[in-house]
Each structure stands twice: as structure tokens, then as C-alpha cells.
């Protein structure tokens, strides 16, 4: 009997739903540290991923045909080995649309309403009415990477009365985006933004895409939010822009090096909001991943193509 190996905790309801969708499969659940030898190698489907299972999953005699990861990003997975082995890969894209969008606006609104300073003053029990306060209505947001999260972000931005600019590879229009640019027009798009939001996946083309030239193209009054990948930003260039007043502020959830070193200058900047790579966290996470997995599992067991969140190895996303 073919096996599905789940590397994450599943509720009884989740297990029952998986078994109902794939009655001809044996479902096995195991923590990474408790895997028996050969368990990964024998599984046809992996629900979850860890670098610790890579050796068995891509071994010549491995039965693995499909991996459903628990994350949206796949840049840390052995994509070339998967391609050579013929393993299909699906991710959790779409799971994060609501929490990351809300996180983006938590950072932007914190900056707009000076909440990051207020929290620091509260810690010091200091009543301080200084600071600049503004509004989002009428401002322009540039969303770099208009996928599911970008579309959700644009929709919320419209509710605030903002003008929306999008950047995506295809340049194709998207709902709630007023103007769409291609990636090779990024510099022009950045020059128009009051708020710049990076949601790009990490690929060879997006690594260090936000360099000195890109930060120089932004308005001195712009606020930069990164919830994409830390490696898409040249950190030193961003720090220089912040220190020189060429960038008004930043909301950062991801970094080139994580955890962010304790002696890094970003920690002490009062125009920077830092969160520890938690923008996508939500108590609804597992439910949404399982929903994606079940849709594809039903197709898989009927020998139909997977249709949700299939990774294109040529694009690395």
C-alpha cells in the first residue's frame, strides 16, 4: 500500500479527511526526530519538509513522487534534485495572504500614527506628544511581487483610499492595482511610492534586487516594508539610506542573516520596526495548508494533474 508521511502534527479531523480523500494510501505521522530508518524513502507523498529528510527523499531508490511543503517559500529546498528525480512540489502559497497583509498594514499604520515611538515611550513611562502624524488616504503604495498576498494587500490599500502600483514579471493587470509595471521597470515604480512593500520570492533574479540604486530611486519620505525574503535586499545599502535620511523608515520581518545579530545597527534605529520572521503566522495556518493538500490529493489519487500551488522549477516558485 502506498504511503503518505506527514511530518507535522495533524488533528484527528485532518487525518480522517486525508484518509477519506486517499483510501488506498496508508497515512503515517511522525516528528522529524522520531523518523525510523527508511520511513521517508518508502513514502510516496511527503506532507511537510525538513533538510534532515533530503537524503532519503531524493535517493535513487526513493518512492517519493510528491512533496507538499508547509511554507510558501521553496528557495531552501533541493529544487534541482527534485526536478531530476521527477518529484512534484507544491507549496502553501495563499495560506499567508490574510496574516501577512495584516502584518504589512500593522507596520505601515504603526509608522503613520507614530505607534513605534509611543510603545518605546510607554516602556519608559514618558509622556511625549512629539512626532509626525499623517494619513494613508491619497498616498501611493508600491507592491513589489503581485501574487496572492500582493492582491490581498492591494484590496486593503484601496479600502484606505490609497493609489496602488504593482510590479510583477508578466506586467499583467490585477484587481485593485491602478498601474502595473514589469520587474525591469522597478526603478520607475519605486520613484512613485510613499510606501514600498516587498513580497518577492527569492530566486536568482530577485537576490539583492533592492540595491543602492533602488533605494536611491525611492522618495526620501518613503517607508519600506520587507515581508518577502531578506536576501532580496542589500542590507548595508538599506541601512545607509536610513542613516542618511534617504529613506524615512522601514518595517522588516525578514533579514539576510537570521536571527538578526544583536550588534546590528537596525536594532537601535528609532525609524525601524522589527519583527522576527513572524508575518505569516496565524492560528488558521494548518487548516489552510490541509485544504490545499486535500484538493491536490483528490486529483492525485484520480491520476489527474495537481492544480494548486505547483512549483515551476524553471522559475523557482
Nearest CA among 93, 38, 85 for reference residue 66: 85
Instruction: Yes or no: say if 65 and 88 are a contact pair by the CB < 8 Å rule.
Output: yes
Q: How far is CA 86 from CA 48, 65, 89, in A?
A: 18, 7, 9
DSSP state of 36: P
| List 63, 212, 277, 308, catalytic entry | 277
CA dihedral sign of residues 156, 97, 234, 174: negative
Rounded CA gap, 9 and 71, in Å? 15
- In contact, 203 and 229? CB cutoff 8 Å: no
**Choosing from 88, 103, 116, 229, which is the catalytic residue?**
229
Residue-wise DSSP of 160-203? TT-EEEEE-SS----TT-SEEE-GGGHHHHHHT-SEEEE-PPP-
For the record, the C-alpha cell of 132 comes out as 509626525
- Which residue in the list 208, 258, 304, 307 is annotated as catalytic? 258
Known catalytic residue: 42? no
* 190 neighbors 136 (Cβ within 8 angstroms): no
Helix 148-159 with 97-112: angle, nearest 10 deg: 40
**Whether 151 is catalytic:** no
Cα-based distances in Å from 200 to 131, 147, 192, 209:
32, 9, 19, 10
Q: Establish whether 258 is a catalytic residue.
A: yes
Residue ranges with strand state E in 80-133? 88-90
Positive or negative, the CA dihedral 115, 116, 119, 125 is negative
Instruction: Give the other-Cβ count within 10 Å of 238's Cβ.
Output: 24
Residues involved in catalysis: 229, 258, 277
Amino acid at each position: 500500500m502506498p504511503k503518505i508521511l506527514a511530518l507535522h502534527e495533524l488533528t484527528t479531523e485532518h487525518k480522517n479527511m486525508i484518509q477519506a480523500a486517499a483510501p488506498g494510501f496508508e497515512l503515517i505521522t511522525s516528528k522529524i526526530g522520531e523518523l525510523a530508518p527508511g520511513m521517508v524513502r518508502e513514502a510516496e507523498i511527503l506532507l511537510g519538509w525538513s533538510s534532515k529528510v533530503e537524503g532519503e527523499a531524493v535517493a535513487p531508490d526513493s518512492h517519493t513522487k510528491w512533496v507538499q511543503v508547509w511554507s510558501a517559500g521553496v528557495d531552501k529546498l533541493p529544487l534541482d534534485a527534485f526536478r531530476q528525480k521527477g518529484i512534484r512540489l507544491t507549496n502553501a502559497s495563499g495560506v499567508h495572504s490574510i496574516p501577512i497583509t495584516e502584518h504589512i498594514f500593522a507596520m505601515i499604520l504603526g509608522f503613520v500614527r507614530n505607534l513605534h515611538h509611543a510603545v518605546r515611550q510607554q516602556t519608559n513611562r514618558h509622556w511625549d506628544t512629539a512626532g509626525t502624524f499623517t494619513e494613508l488616504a491619497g498616498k501611493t503604495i508600491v507592491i513589489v511581487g503581485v501574487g496572492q498576498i500582493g492582491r490581498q494587500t492591494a484590496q486593503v490599500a484601496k479600502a484606505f483610499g490609497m493609489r496602488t502600483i504593482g510590479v510583477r514579471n508578466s506586467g499583467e493587470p490585477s484587481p485593485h492595482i491602478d498601474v502595473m509595471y514589469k520587474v525591469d521597470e522597478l526603478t520607475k515604480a519605486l520613484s512613485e511610492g510613499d510606501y514600498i512593500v516587498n513580497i518577492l520570492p527569492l530566486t536568482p533574479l530577485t537576490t539583492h534586487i533592492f540595491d543602492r540604486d533602488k533605494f536611491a530611486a525611492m522618495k526620501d519620505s518613503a517607508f519600506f516594508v520587507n515581508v518577502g525574503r531578506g536576501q532580496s535586499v542589500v542590507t548595508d545599502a538599506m541601512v545607509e539610506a536610513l542613516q542618511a535620511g534617504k529613506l524615512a523608515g522601514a518595517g522588516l520581518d525578514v533579514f539576510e542573516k537570521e536571527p538578526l545579530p544583536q550588534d546590528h545597527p537596525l536594532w537601535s534605529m528609532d525609524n525601524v520596526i522589527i519583527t522576527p520572521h513572524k508575518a505569516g503566522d496565524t492560528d488558521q495556518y494548518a487548516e489552510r495548508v490541509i485544504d490545499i493538500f486535500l484538493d491536490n490529493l483528490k486529483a492525485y489519487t484520480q491520476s489527474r494533474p495537481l492544480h494548486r500551488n505547483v512549483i515551476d522549477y524553471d522559475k523557482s516558485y
